[in-house]
């Protein structure tokens, strides 16, 4: 995908003319390796190859607008009303983001009118009758110690015109949307309708995906907690497998289209013998297939652990029409149960005893509180989102790119999906850690 400077332009509601309450703190601050000034740009691609091949000055290369506080802001904090909504599936850190948004708005900008819309986008729609929740530092005290979201969430599309109608009726000037790619597409539509109506409404997104599959950000909040919890499941699977003759621990983790959790968990503990992800197809049968390799590993070592991402191997389960959930996502079929069945059948056919243990910790993983790293990361994302909104940025997402917090146009992150590259260094590390082949094929590829 070719990225140009125009692809990275961020929309703004207008000129910033109001002195920020944070201006005093910024007065003595100098640009350094730890701080990017608002007039600087964070290069989209900072590799030497890009600079030399294009042969253009660095200041003409595509770059992101840096996130952070501005000396001048667009909104008067004493007069704005802010809305916060959480959408889609649960993810560690949702409450951390809500808490940090409220505290940053209230204590540092002096904004006092903050409400939470309940149960995702349906909370804006009158027919559901979901009341808003008044938010202040007291209301969010301690919520970061709990999993889930105090605002509730839901899946499914709602009419963006009705959502903007609600924002107008309530005199909401800023909306923070915490959600995944589908939620960001909805937020983009809300922002566009508001701009078309000449409403001064800033729509700012904080990307949420436990699978870590949103593109153009280093990683998403909750991901580290998720793969840490998944790694503990691998540890348990290894203990179970070692404790019985010919023991196999099979662990299914989240990852609809991207195998980041499976790969990271496997590397964190070193307990996996085989890792299966959606990005790398595999054969089950044949001399070079997974089943033969698994049986050989068990016979050699006495046990084995297999971790599979939920979206892997869907080609083996493609019988019948696809069904979709409320968000329009195709419902995945259960690759874990299929693998369990095929492994049992394969060992039985070979006359080899087997002790199988199957683990599916998916819902346990997504509902836990964030770990300390993710809690910190959620706070920094929330701070960046508040700064962006107060400066009048709209249809924008905050994220970290190459270690810097930046503003990203919503349409950019909705245009694709981040995945594990079969030729990248992460997958290479997995192959090195597990000793599995590059791919499982029905006929093994001869060594060169």
The catalytic residues are 211
The two structure tokens encoding residue 41: 């740009």
- Listed in sequence order, the DSSP H helices in 119-180 are 160-169
> In this structure, what DSSP letter does residue 106 have?
I
In angstroms, rounded to a whole number, what is the distance separating the alpha carbons of residues 189 and 185? Answer: 6
State how far the alpha carbon of 238 is from the alpha carbons of 110, 178, 247, 250, in Å.
52, 36, 9, 9
Q: Are 225 and 92 in contact (CB under 8 A)?
A: yes
| Phi and psi at residue 427, to the nearest 5° | -65, -35
Residues in contact with 165: Cβ distance below 8 Å, sequence separation at least 6, in sequence order: none
Based on C-alpha coordinates, what's the Rg of the chain? 24
* Closest of 68, 135, 160, 99 to residue 398, by C-alpha: 68
Q: 191 near 164, Cβ under 8 Å?
A: no
Element (H, E) at 219: none
Q: Are strands 404-409 and 18-19 parallel, antiparallel or unpaired?
A: unpaired
CA-to-CA distance for 257 and 211, rounded, in angstroms? 8
Residue that is written with structure tokens 């068990």 in the block: 298
H/E segment holding residue 30: none
Question: Please, which residues have CB within 8 angstroms of residue 242's CB and are 6 or more apart in sequence?
Answer: 302, 303
Q: Which of 433, 91, 438 is nearest to 268 (CA)?
A: 433
- In whole angstroms, give the CA distance from residue 147 to residue 91: 8
CA distance 317 to 112: 52
Coil/strand/helix, residue 13: coil
- Euclidean distance between the first and the last CA atom of the chain, given in angstroms as a whole number: 33
Q: Quick check: 79 and 90 in contact, CB under 8 A? A: no
Give CA–CA dist 276/266, Å, rounded.
11
Contact 108, 22 (CB under 8 A): yes
């Amino acid at each position: 995908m070719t990225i140009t400077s125009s692809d990275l332009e961020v929309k703004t509601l207008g000129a910033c003319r109001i002195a920020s309450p944070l201006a005093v703190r910024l007065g003595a601050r100098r640009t350094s390796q730890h701080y990017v000034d608002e007039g600087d740009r964070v290069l989209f691609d900072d590799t030497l190859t890009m600079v030399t091949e294009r042969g253009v000055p660095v200041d003409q290369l595509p770059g992101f607008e840096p996130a952070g506080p501005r000396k001048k802001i667009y909104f008067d904090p004493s007069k704005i009303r802010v809305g916060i909504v959480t959408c889609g599936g649960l993810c560690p850190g949702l409450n951390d983001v809500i808490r940090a948004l409220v505290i940053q708005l209230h204590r540092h900008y002096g904004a006092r009118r903050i409400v939470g819309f309940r149960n995702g986008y349906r909370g804006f729609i009158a027919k559901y009758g979901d009341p808003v929740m008044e938010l202040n530092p007291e209301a969010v005290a301690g919520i970061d110690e709990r999993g889930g979201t105090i605002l509730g969430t839901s899946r499914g599309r709602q009419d963006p015109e009705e959502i903007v109608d609600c924002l107008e009726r309530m005199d909401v000037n800023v909306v923070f949307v915490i959600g995944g790619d589908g939620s960001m597409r909805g937020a983009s539509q809300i922002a566009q309708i508001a701009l078309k109506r000449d409403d001064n409404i800033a729509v700012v997104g904080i990307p949420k995906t436990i699978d870590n599959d949103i593109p153009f950000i280093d990683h998403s909040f909750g991901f580290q907690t998720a793969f840490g919890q998944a790694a503990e499941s691998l540890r348990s699977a290894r203990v179970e497998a070692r404790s019985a003759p010919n023991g196999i621990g099979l662990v299914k983790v989240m990852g609809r289209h991207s195998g980041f959790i499976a790969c990271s968990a496997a590397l964190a503990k070193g307990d996996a013998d085989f890792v299966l992800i959606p990005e790398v197809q595999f054969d089950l049968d044949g001399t070079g297939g997974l089943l033969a390799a698994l049986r050989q590993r068990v016979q050699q070592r006495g046990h084995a652990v297999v971790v599979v991402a939920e979206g892997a191997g869907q080609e083996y389960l493609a019988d019948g029409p696809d069904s979709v959930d409320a968000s329009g996502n195709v419902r995945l079929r259960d690759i874990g149960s299929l693998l369990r069945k095929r492994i049992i059948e394969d060992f039985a056919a070979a006359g080899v005893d087997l002790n199988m243990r199957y683990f599916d910790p998916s819902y346990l993983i997504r509902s836990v509180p964030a770990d300390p790293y993710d809690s910190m990361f959620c706070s920094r994302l929330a701070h960046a989102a508040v700064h962006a909104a107060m400066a009048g940025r709209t249809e924008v997402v905050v994220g970290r790119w190459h270690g810097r917090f930046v503003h990203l146009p919503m349409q950019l992150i909705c245009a694709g999906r981040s995945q594990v590259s079969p030729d990248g260094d992460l997958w290479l590390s997995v192959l090195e850690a597990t000793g599995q082949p590059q791919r499982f094929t029905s006929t093994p590829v001869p060594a060169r």
